[in-house]
Amino acid sequence: MKIYSIQDPEFAPYGKVLEGYDTEPLVAALEQATPLPQGVEYVPSQPELEALPIAKTLASNAYGGMPIQMGWCNGHNTKLNCLEYHRDSEMNCGTCDFILLVAREDEIANGKLDSAKVKAFLVPAGTLVEVYATTLHYAPCSAKAGAGFRVLVVLPKGTNGPKPEIIPLNQEDKMLWACNKWLLAHPDTSEASQGAYIGLSGENIDIADQI
């Protein structure tokens, strides 16, 4: 699998780099306040991050005044496993280089996405990147063999909270996994065994040999 840069034109359908933000204090806070687990852990809201001046700036500028939450997704990973999307963009920034595996929502056909549609993009350390609402994504991947990652995750407040109780009305409703989180799982994952919608076909991509 080819690993592109987010500076390459191929990234344009999936997101963009957000210019003008000073991410140094953010990177420092991620290093100091968040762990580096052997697996992958996600915390939607971290007080030390939300206390930074950039939190108010992101809420007012990047999200146009919407309430946001600032958390993290840290650990070690090289596999696709699942893809998710939200109704709003997600912002990411890492303390070191990391890789995003992404696809487009419009590539879902009959409730399934072929993993051959997935592309890989390297995000440089300290770069604030917007992942569009229409971009399928999941846990970051390590950019170097054996290396971990600490990645900021900014989303509208409440995202990834408890799943609302709904009566499914259509195919997409079956994918709803949490608040503002629609999830497509590969059958060979713990998420699938927990009842997540199996929406990924093909190979469960592993980039271990590419890093």
pLDDT tens digit sequence for 8-20: 999 999 999 999 9
Q: What is the pLDDT of residues 68-104, one digit of tens each?
A: 999 999 999 999 999 999 999 999 999 999 999 999 9
Mean per-residue pLDDT of the chain: 97
pLDDT of residue 72: 98
- The span from the CA of 189 to the CA of 143, in Å, is 22
- The span from the CA of 46 to the CA of 37, in Å, is 16
Q: Say how many domains are in the chain.
A: 1
The structure tokens listed for 1 are: 């699998």
- Please report where in the chains the tokens 């806070």 appear, as a residue: 29
pLDDT of residue 11: 98
Q: Would strands 135-136 and 98-104 be described as parallel, antiparallel, or unpaired?
A: antiparallel
- The span from the CA of 82 to the CA of 190, in Å, is 10
Owning domain of residue 83: 3-210
How much of the chain exceeds pLDDT 90, in percent?
A: 100
pLDDT of residue 78: 98
pLDDT of residue 137: 98
Element (H, E) at 142: strand 141-142
- Please report where in the chains the tokens 């056909």 appear, as a residue: 109
CATH classification of the domain holding 139: 2.60.120.10
Element (H, E) at 47: helix 47-50
pLDDT of residue 126: 98
This prediction has a pTM of 0.96
Q: What is the pLDDT of residues 18-77, one digit of tens each?
A: 999 999 999 999 999 999 999 999 999 999 999 999 999 999 999 999 999 999 999 999
